[in-house]
Structure formats: C-alpha cells, structure tokens
C-alpha cells in the first residue's frame, strides 16, 4: 500500500480520525461557516490566533530548502508562523492548515509542545508520509478543513463529477476547486468512500511528471501549482513601520535605516519588499 495512504489517520486510527472530523466541524462553524477556503486559509489562521488574544506574525518568504514547508514557534509570548513561498501555492495552503492544527492543540487542548520546541513541517509529511501521530492528525485536519464533506458533495453535484472509473482529470478538478495537493484529494475521496482502496492506490501510483503534464494540457488546478516568487511578507512589520511614519513616532533617520535594512533582506531573498 502507498505510504501516504498507509500512514493516513483514516487508516491508522479511525476513532481518532472521527474526533478530528468533529473538531473540524466545530472549528468551521465558528471561523469559516460554509465557505470554500482556498487561499483564505492565511486570513483564517491569523484571525484564529488573534481571537485567542495572542500576538501573531505570519511570515511568507522563499527559502533555499524546498524540503521545509513551514514552521511555527513562540518567542516572548508572540506566535510566529513561517510559510515557504518557494513551494507551489497548493502546498503553502495545505501547510498553513497543517500548522493551524498544531496551534489549535496548543490553544484549545493546552498541548505545550509547541511552546517548548515549535513545529517544523517538512515536504515528505505532505508528499509521502506522516510518521508521527500528531502530523497524521494535522494532515487529516488540513484536508478535512480545506475540502469538507458537505462542500465536496455539493461541488460534485455542481460539476456533475462521476466517481466511477475515476480519472486523473476528476482529481485535478477537485484540486482546482479546493486548492489542495493531488495526494490529499485522493485520500479525501477514499475517506468519503467515493473510491475504493484499489482505485486510491492506482491514482497514487501515477507519477508527478504525468500529473504535471495533464495539468499543463488541461489548465485544471494550474493556478494552485504556481510558485509566486515575488511573494515576501514580513508579518505586520511593514504595517507598523507605516504607522510609525504617519504618527511621526520615531526619528526619520532611524525609520529610513530600518526601511533600508528591510529592503536589503528582501533583496537577499530575491525580490523587493512589498
């Protein structure tokens, strides 16, 4: 059996999977309602932490290590989430939802592991397998949040999708609708019993080159495979610098020096600050 399927929470621990599903339903009822999330996940993540009265910074910038998708850590009472903007947008979205689960555990379940050592999400946890239980839970949470059962059913009707003899094209259409990676779609279809395990394994055996070729030919889900290389966000830093400038709360020389340093860092990362 494909590792990503074998090490899914749905296979490993069905009871825990059901608990995570209930958790997602509760979360959605408060923070999202019935919307299809896509790249709104970044706003939802920020809103969730801030509504729990915790200072928060969302950092998005390209790093040289494609294996590192995201990390979350807490310093001096402030939470930081870093998303690697040099990976495809669908993976950035999934990474943000994955990190949201670790944050949820910290804030709701008082799991202080995040405070002690932070969280580092590597690409194989998304692409190949999650070996630790909490990462399995986080992957299940992310997929259920981004492609919830009701919305999956609804969109299947809207687009008249048939799950008999499912092709890659059907998977790509769902990727296009929900902005999640290919393997996450296949697992969601299996979880909702749209496909059986034999079909899931067959779809998961299709190579990334063939999937990319079909995306290029059809254009389906192409927007979510893009890597926005000019995307650099330093949390609220630019906003705070603007506020200081408007209120004249800091010496002009200091402000200009800070702006120059910020541009220098952005240039080092590859693109101008925005």
Over residues 157-197, the pLDDT tens digits come to 999 999 998 999 999 999 999 999 999 999 999 999 999 99
Q: 96-108, pLDDT tens digit by residue?
A: 999 999 999 999 9
| pLDDT beyond 90 at 273 | no
Q: Would residue 34 count as lying in a domain?
A: yes
Q: By mean pLDDT, which of 36-45, 82-91, 102-111, 112-121 is the weakest?
A: 112-121
Q: Which pLDDT does position 129 carry in this prediction?
A: 84
d(CA 118, CA 68): 14
Residues in contact with 266: Cβ distance below 8 Å, sequence separation at least 6, in sequence order: 232, 272, 273
d(CA 99, CA 39): 14
Secondary structure (3-state) at 70: strand
What are the start-end ranges of the H helices in 32-122? 41-51, 89-108, 113-117
Per cent of the chain over pLDDT 70 is: 85
Per cent of the chain over pLDDT 90 is: 71
Stronger pLDDT, 127 or 230, i.e. the higher one? 127
Q: Would residue 162 count as lying in a domain?
A: yes
Task: State how beta strands 78-84 and 119-122 pair.
Answer: unpaired
Q: Would residue 97 count as lying in a domain?
A: yes
Residue 215 DSSP label: H
Local confidence band at 66 (pLDDT 50, 70, 90 cut-offs): confident
Q: By mean pLDDT, which of 109-118, 141-150, 193-202 is the weakest?
A: 109-118
Local confidence band at 73 (pLDDT 50, 70, 90 cut-offs): very high
Report, as an integer, the average pLDDT of 4-14. Answer: 94
Q: Would residue 255 count as lying in a domain?
A: no
Q: Would residue 66 count as lying in a domain?
A: yes
pTM comes to 0.87
Q: Would residue 260 count as lying in a domain?
A: no
Local confidence band at 270 (pLDDT 50, 70, 90 cut-offs): low
Task: State how beta strands 78-84 and 56-61 pair.
Answer: parallel
Mean of the per-residue pLDDT values of the chain: 88
Q: 192-235, pLDDT tens digit by residue?
A: 999 999 999 999 999 999 999 999 999 999 999 999 877 777 65
Residues in contact with 161: Cβ distance below 8 Å, sequence separation at least 6, in sequence order: 155, 170, 173, 174
| pLDDT beyond 60 at 238 | no
d(CA 31, CA 154): 20
| pLDDT beyond 80 at 260 | no
Our count of domains for the chain comes to 1
Q: Would residue 225 count as lying in a domain?
A: yes
Q: Would residue 246 count as lying in a domain?
A: no
Domain containing residue 39:
3-233
String of b and e for 233-245 (b: at least 16 CB within 10 Å)? bbbeeeeebeeee
Q: Which pLDDT does position 274 carry in this prediction?
A: 42
Q: How far is CA 126 from the centre of its chain?
A: 10
Report, as an integer, the average pLDDT of 85-99. Answer: 96
């Amino acid at each position: 059996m494909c590792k990503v399927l074998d090490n899914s929470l749905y296979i490993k621990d069905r009871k825990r999977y059901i608990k995570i599903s209930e958790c997602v339903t509760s979360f959605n009822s408060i923070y999202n309602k019935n919307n299809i999330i896509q790249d709104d996940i970044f706003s939802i993540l920020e809103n969730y932490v801030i509504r729990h009265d915790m200072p928060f910074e969302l950092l998005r910038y390209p790093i040289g290590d494609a294996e590192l998708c995201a990390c979350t850590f807490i310093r001096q009472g402030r939470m930081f989430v870093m998303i690697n903007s040099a990976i495809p947008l669908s993976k950035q979205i999934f990474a943000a939802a994955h990190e949201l689960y670790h944050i949820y555990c910290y804030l709701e379940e008082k799991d202080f592991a995040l405070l002690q050592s932070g969280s580092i999400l590597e690409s194989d946890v998304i692409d190949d397998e999650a070996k630790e239980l909490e990462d399995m839970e986080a992957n299940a949470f992310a997929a259920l949040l981004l492609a919830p059962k009701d919305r999956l059913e609804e969109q299947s009707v809207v687009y008249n999708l048939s799950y008999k003899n499912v092709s890659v094209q059907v998977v790509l259409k769902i990727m296009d609708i929900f902005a999640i990676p290919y393997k996450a779609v296949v697992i969601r279809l299996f979880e909702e019993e749209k496909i059986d395990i034999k079909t899931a394994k067959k779809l998961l055996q299709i190579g990334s080159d063939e999937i990319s070729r079909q995306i290029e030919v059809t254009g389906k889900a192409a927007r979510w495979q893009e890597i926005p290389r000019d995307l650099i966000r330093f949390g609220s830093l630019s906003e705070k610098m603007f506020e200081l400038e408007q209120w004249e709360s800091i010496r002009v020389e200091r402000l200009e020096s800070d702006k120059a340093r910020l541009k220098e860092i952005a240039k080092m990362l590859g693109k101008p600050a925005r």
